[in-house]
Amino acid sequence: MVEVHGVCPDRLASVREAFTANFDAGQELGARFCLVERGEVVVDLWAGHADRARTRPFDAATLTPVFSTTKAIAAILIARLVEAGRLDYAQPVAEVWPDFAQAGKAGITVEQVMSHQAGLSGFPEAMDPALWFDWDAICAKLAALAPLWPPGSASGYHPITYGYLAGEIFRRVDGRTMGTALREDLAAPLNLDLWIGLPDDQHGRVADLQRPSALAKFGAPNPALAAAFQTAWSSPAGRGQAEWRRIEIPSANGHATALGLARLMGALANGGWLEGEMVLAPALIAELSRERIRGQDLVLPYEMSWGAGVMRNETVHPWGPGAETFGHSGWGGSCAFADPETGLAGAYVMNRQSADLLGDPRARRLIEAAYGSR
């Protein structure tokens, strides 16, 4: 039986039981789950190994790649610019990024980009996948790219391009990269173990990944899906793992602990407050999570409800019963969510990846146990 570490009160014993059961069923290598209730960390559990050889324990200092769960952090950074009056969700992207107006994109708004409506889910024409490591080159290609569907007519998940689009909007307004702003404005002041772009001195803390044994199941083939996921150049490749960790891709290469993610999302479930600091005002939390589009996504095989960079729980329900709950999932199973109705927030990270695109069963069991114990 796995040795589970951390804290879990008796009233939430079913969460610990579900966490242990995931390991006993052979579904985990290493994992951590954290639950925050009205600003207080009430559950923080970890167990297993940080490496495939099972020689290194998965502990409280272990960092895990969280892939698209990073998008929730990027969405919060954009929302903070909106709160400061430096950006407006309704304004055209081209107002802050003039070159973006090319190829019929002059009218695309910030909120359309953030809610995956811009028609830029990937590059349909062949390119060297190592080009993703060149921020300016990718942004120039996105500025020149014609939308793959009429912007605003549907959502089509932007798995990698989202990070460059949101990140370049942020950089044009703020002057800093998202990774720098995260570190300076949130992570360092609030002691959040969250990174977009990981310094070399942190690489030794990162858990090894055990890749999924099956492929993800998508819907019917279409150009948006092909560009997003199904080409040889749809994701970064051609550089070593260390280079991947160093670069900043705010859609895909965040590194985090479950505690860091849960505390950040816990602020959004708690009126915006974290350790006496306002992360985001309640009005902006509501605006961030407000539905921008609902319907069958062109890339993900689900009916989705998108806020301004966050998945809304209302259609797919990966995070408990709340209709107002929002968050994001990442490739392999990670997730982070906030439920302003109950003040509950949480995060799950792991290094044995599954092929589930949304609502990994391991995380679902933990979250359902938490809600069932309330």
Kindly write down the DSSP assignment for every residue of 299-360, as one continuous string: SSSSEEEE-SSSEEHHHH--SSS-TT-EEEE-TTS-EEEEETTTTEEEEEEESB--S-SSS-
DSSP 8-state secondary structure symbol assigned to residue 150: -
Count other Cβ atoms within 10 Å, centred on residue 25: 11
What are residue 88's DSSP bridge partners? none
Strand, helix or coil at 63?
strand
d(CA 311, CA 338): 11
| Contact (CB, 8 A) for 312 and 291 | yes
Which residues are known to be catalytic? Answer: 68
Question: Is residue 218 exposed (0-12), middle (13-18) or buried (19+ Cβ within 10 Å)?
Answer: middle
Residue type, 291: E
What secondary structure letter does DSSP report for 166?
A: H
How many angstroms separate the CA atoms of 277 and 365, rounded? 32
Residue for token pair 């993610």: 261
Q: Tally the C-alpha atoms within 13 A of residue 177's C-alpha that lie toward its C-beta.
A: 14
3-state secondary structure of 49: strand
Asked if 131 contacts 164 with a C-beta cutoff of 8 angstroms, the reply is no
The secondary structure of 72-101, three-state, reads HHHHHHHHHHHHCCCCCCCCEHHHCCHHHH
Tally of CB atoms within 10 A around 225: 23
CA 64 to chain centre: 13
> Using CA atoms in the order 209, 211, 212, 217, what is the torsion angle rounded to 10 degrees?
110
Q: Can you tell me the distance from the alpha carbon of 113 to that of 74, in angstroms, rounded to the nearest whole number?
A: 12
